[in-house]
């Protein structure tokens, strides 16, 4: 959820981190007998600046990744700027390194990503022009995507504005990592209108590309039901500077307006999709049932929302083994320095695929 923060950059000398588009990079097209067809363990996290997390919280995140051992890690709010100087076109698939400060930040990040266990992953980036938004996708090297795209149109080399989309195509499934734009508070181009357009495009994507199962994860910036927020009345009545939108369904906290929730329900229904966490957890969990928490100081203290998800095709629902919020409590235990906690998903092995050797 868009709140109080910022981004980072790409990699230069490190080959595995300089990947920008599967199929264009040499490493991404290599094959070996050890490569597996289908990942089954996933982690998504809005890091709220990956560089800050590397500087301040990396041991904790490293411990989580080591213990859970995800095949795929989806990151939102990378907050690293894309490569390119002010006067030249930007390269959203590369980290900025044309100034001394940018090179230093990039080196800090790449050192962290080359150390265990992160050296076991290929890394793709989709970045904004500044330290804002941006996504990253880490895929274990034993899993070879058939292609990686950075837009909902599946067009080579094109990146969505602000680096909000990453799509990995595997032989038997697709993985979509998105950082949805915040709805905002007003009927403006960069607020309600932007979010409506986004939801329309997501709906078109999930209905058009239904030929193989989908795993859609990330900061989706919406809480579907009352059960998905800690204080429904508070969020329903929320206002900014006393402003009340003309449409009653646009009133309330961004991410919890009736219009957003209805559109999200339509996406799930028309796309034949299942909320993996809610599929397993039917009851409200005030301790560990939310992925975003408000500022510990002020009126948002203790106010929490579940806006980070794993959404899967109905075809996969019987393979859901576990889906968990990795943070809990109003003191942000397990949030690893961010205002969002990591969320994990585990699927059982596909009956038609060999079991993955996790050693």
Enumerate the known binding-site residues for Mg(2+). 46, 77, 219, 221, 339-340
Tokens found for residue 12: 């230069």
Say how far residue 336 (Cα) sits from the centre of its chain. 15
C-beta of residue 12 within 8 angstroms of C-beta of residue 40? no
Angstrom CA distances, 341 to 43, 148, 257, 307, 332, stand at: 10, 25, 22, 10, 8
What is the rounded distance in angstroms from the CA atom of residue 216 to the CA atom of residue 273? 9
Q: Which residues are catalytic?
A: 179, 219, 340
Helix segments in 30-78, DSSP class H: 50-56, 58-68
* Reduced 3-state DSSP string for 213-267: CEEEEEECCCCCCHHHECCHHHHHHCCECCECCCCHHHCCCCCCCHHHHHHHHHH
Running DSSP on this structure, what letter comes out for residue 185?
S
Tokens found for residue 249: 């369904």
What is the rounded distance in angstroms from the CA atom of residue 162 to the CA atom of residue 346? 29
Tokens found for residue 259: 């219009």
Q: Which residues are annotated as a binding site?
A: 46, 77, 219, 221, 339-340
What residues contact 108, with CB distance under 8 A and at least 6 apart? 51, 54, 55
What residues contact 22, with CB distance under 8 A and at least 6 apart? 28, 29, 124, 145, 146, 147, 148, 168
What is the rounded distance in angstroms from the CA atom of residue 59 to the CA atom of residue 65? 10
Is 303 exposed, middle or buried (CB count within 10 Å of its CB: 0-12, 13-18, 19+)? Answer: buried
Q: How many residues does the chain have?
A: 359
CA-atom Rg of the chain in angstroms: 19
């Amino acid at each position: 959820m868009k709140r109080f923060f910022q981004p980072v950059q790409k990699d230069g000398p490190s080959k595995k981190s300089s990947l920008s588009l599967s199929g264009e990079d040499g490493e991404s097209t290599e094959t070996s007998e050890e490569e597996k067809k289908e990942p089954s363990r996933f982690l998504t996290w809005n890091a709220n600046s990956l560089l800050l997390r590397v500087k301040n919280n990396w041991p904790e995140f490293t411990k989580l990744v080591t213990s859970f051992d995800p095949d795929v890690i989806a990151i939102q709010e990378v907050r690293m700027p894309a490569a390119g100087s002010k006067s030249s076109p930007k390269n959203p698939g590369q980290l900025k390194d044309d100034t001394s400060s940018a090179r230093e930040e990039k080196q800090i990040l790449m050192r962290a990503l080359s150390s265990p266990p992160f050296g076991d992953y290929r890394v793709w980036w989709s970045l904004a022009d500044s330290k804002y938004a941006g996504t990253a996708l880490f895929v274990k090297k034993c899993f070879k995507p058939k292609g990686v795209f950075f837009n909902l149109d599946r067009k080579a080399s094109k990146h969505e504005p602000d680096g909000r989309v990453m799509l990995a195509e595997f032989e038997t499934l697709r993985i979509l990592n998105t950082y949805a734009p915040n709805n905002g508070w007003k009927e403006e181009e960069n607020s309600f209108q932007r979010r409506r357009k986004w939801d329309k495009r997501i709906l078109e994507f999930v209905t058009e590309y239904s030929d193989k199962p989908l795993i859609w994860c990330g900061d989706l910036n919406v809480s579907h039901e009352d059960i998905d927020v800690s204080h429904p009345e508070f969020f329903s009545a929320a206002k900014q500077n006393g402003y009340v939108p003309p449409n009653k369904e646009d009133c309330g906290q961004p991410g919890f307006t009736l219009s957003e929730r209805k559109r999200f329900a339509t996406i799930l229904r028309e796309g034949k999709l299942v909320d993996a966490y809610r599929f397993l957890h039917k009851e409200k969990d005030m301790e560990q049932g939310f992925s975003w928490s408000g500022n510990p100081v002020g009126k948002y203290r203790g106010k929490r929302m579940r806006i980070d998800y794993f959404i899967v095709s109905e075809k996969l629902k019987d393979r859901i083994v576990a889906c968990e919020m990795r943070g809990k409590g109003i003191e942000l235990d397990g949030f690893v320095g961010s205002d969002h906690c990591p969320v994990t998903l585990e699927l059982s092995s596909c009956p038609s695929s060999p079991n993955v050797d996790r050693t």
